[in-house]
Structure 1
Amino acid sequence: MLPLLAATSAAAREIRVMMLGDSITAGYGLARGQGLPARLEAALRERGRQVRMIDAGVSGDTTAGGRARLDWALADRPDAVIVALGGNDGLRGIEPRASAANLTAILDALRARNLPVMLAGMLAPPNLGAEYGREFAATFTALAQARPEVVFYPFLLEGVAGDPAMNQPDRIHPNETGVAELVRRMLPSVESLLVRVPNG
């Protein structure tokens, strides 16, 4: 009886997943409960996953901002972390080497805490030029290649970016339809992250 009870308890354990991001994570322009973390949590629970998503999104945040507030955000004691930063770096034309240094520091800090990580990549806006765009995108790819333990989702806004039907009038932030599409596409990667959580 005791082993069975222990197994049941472990299976029922709630996994806390923090999403460290910017306005996309924070649900800019959306009603409460319609942002990406909340919708991911609902979808995972529909699949029988006992997951609590922690929304650590701050509108306007860059990789530098995420790096600066990481220790504070980790006070919520997540079991795993999704790093979804970089969009504002691209919009501001920040040097990709600076973004890479910030993301490296974030990933190193999470590894030091033995936290499973999913890294969501980002693309730069086309008006900054092809060379900048290639270098910016390569930042995320290189980080993922150097860290095989990290679950890599190449582009956070895959299937949504540039589609007027999926975005709010600013053409930057997903609307409810866009968030639903992000969730649909991200779920397999997020579930890959969950299986890396001890006793998850």
Structure 2
Amino acid sequence: MIRWLLFPALFAAVPASAQVASSNKDGPLILAFGDSLTAGYGLGRGLGFAPQLQDALRRNGIKARVHDAGVSGDTTAGGRARLSWTLQRMGGKPDLAIVELGANDMLRGVDPKVTEANLDAILAELNKQGIPVLVAGMLAAPNLGPDYRRRYEAIFPTLARKYDADLYPFFLQGVVGNRTLLLGDGVHPNFEGIKRMVTGILPTVQRALAKAKP
């Protein structure tokens, strides 16, 4: 679960083209690999990030399948441990992997060096298998102090550059701090909050798919 002090969003999405080539004859296969934010914590079936992203892509002419591999409470260490198993169970090589992990590390005060090492290993394995990546970044809670925040927030752009991955700087852009977009816990996005997140990241997903090799 994701629990931290609310703080304002800082980043906006950039429009992108939707021209897509895919090695999957039924359309692009996308792996959504993350924690409770990806899993749709507290929401009914079909209301979380993966199904909403799939619907949004199809409305925009991309017959994509988005595989929900979100696990509530997961850390980067947990994601690293289950990546191979997750890929084996997909039944096909993803055309794109959206990696959204690290928030629970931050909430537990994990050393950013450890978080970076785990995410590095995840991206290295995806790169080894020829799977393009979109890194979904996160911001640190302000109460953790400027040094932690600086080191933590540098992880996502640094690794995106290292692996030539696309980057969406803040997965909760436009949602954090807006209680009308959150569940009763005041932390996790509700259906409308997920919808806002999908709207924000959609152009970056489109751009990443357009770059993916057939």
**TM (normalized to structure 2)?**
0.85
Q: Which residue of 2 aligns with 1:198?
A: 213
Q: Give the % identical residues.
A: 47
Unpaired segments ≥5 residues, structure 1: 1-8
Larger RCO (CA within 8 A; separation ≥ 6): 2
Q: Which residue of 2 aligns with 1:189?
A: 204
Q: Which residue of 1 aligns with 2:188?
A: 173
The structure number with the bigger radius of gyration is 1
> If each structure's helix is expressed as a fraction of its own residues, which one has the higher value?
1
Q: Which residue of 2 aligns with 1:115?
A: 131
Structure 1 vs Structure 2 CA RMSD = 1.6
Q: Which residue of 2 aligns with 1:5?
A: none
Alpha-carbon contact 1:18-1:55 (below 8 Å) kept: yes
Q: Read off the aligned partner of 1:137 and give its amino acid letter.
A: E
Matched position secondary structure for 1:18: strand
**Matched ranges for 1:1-200 at <5 A:** 13-75=26-88, 76=90, 77=92, 78-147=94-163, 149-199=164-214
How many angstroms apart in 2 are the aligned matches of 1:194 and 1:141? 19
How many angstroms apart in 2 are the aligned matches of 1:110 and 1:66? 12
Alpha-carbon contact 1:121-1:152 (below 8 Å) kept: yes
Task: Show structure 1 runs of 4+ deviating over 4 A.
Answer: 9-12
Matched position secondary structure for 1:69: helix
**TM (normalized to structure 1)?**
0.90
Alpha-carbon contact 2:34-2:100 (below 8 Å) kept: yes
Return closer, same or farther for 1:29/1:11 CA change in 2, 3 Å cut-off.
closer
Q: Read off the aligned partner of 1:99 and give its amino acid letter.
A: T
- Post-superposition shift, 1:12? 6.1
